[in-house]
Structure 1
């Protein structure tokens, strides 16, 4: 499903055989790119471009990234991903309560909990995390 467009290129969420992490696709015919997005922060990052030999100018890729990062577009991408795939791709990762972020290869402390489940609320544009062993979950307003 189409999320947005930039200079005639469509940014889309594929709905068949998709996998984590959440991402959007752009296919120019000569090259394809994927951009990762998240359900716990508002960043968007270029994931990959193939074939690398036909990679477009950095300005085009950055324009696509910034377009997807716009609040209305990122919210639409999340809504499509969540509605069709029913995952925020956060289950079984670690949440660091001290830094309020998904922990990557960090020491487990008394403020670090495994994410048991994550639920995205499209109408509110927020993610709810159920943390294993924590008294309370986490609500992330995006």
Structure 2
């Protein structure tokens, strides 16, 4: 656990705060200390989090733009296809506008990049019934799983 004196020396600095009991890590700018005892971090995205001072707090470099918080689960882009989320993005947002999000893969199936495709006639893209049903089932399962993990 980082002492109150050490925390005072870190005010205004980018830090990581690690829970010794769970291993959970937060990153942010240390912007406040309270008598509860509590420390207040300003997250890279702008939100604030208040944590008990029973954390190990270390000075950290500012995160690069677009960097997820420490401990965030990374998933490969190819999972957009496997989870049904690519279907959902295309079906709900892009296809009605005559666009499609395409993932470009190498021979091993690793996603190298993406592009937006336009339909030749400008009309909305459509899926056959089986593809629609399968995509919907996979997307709903992915969303349900994410909501369950959050609660």
TM-score interval, smaller chain: under 0.3
What is the TM-score with the length of structure 1 in the denominator? 0.27
Q: Highest Rg: 1 or 2? A: 2
Kindly indicate which of the two structures has a greater share of residues assigned to helix. Answer: 2
Indicate the structure with greater strand content.
1
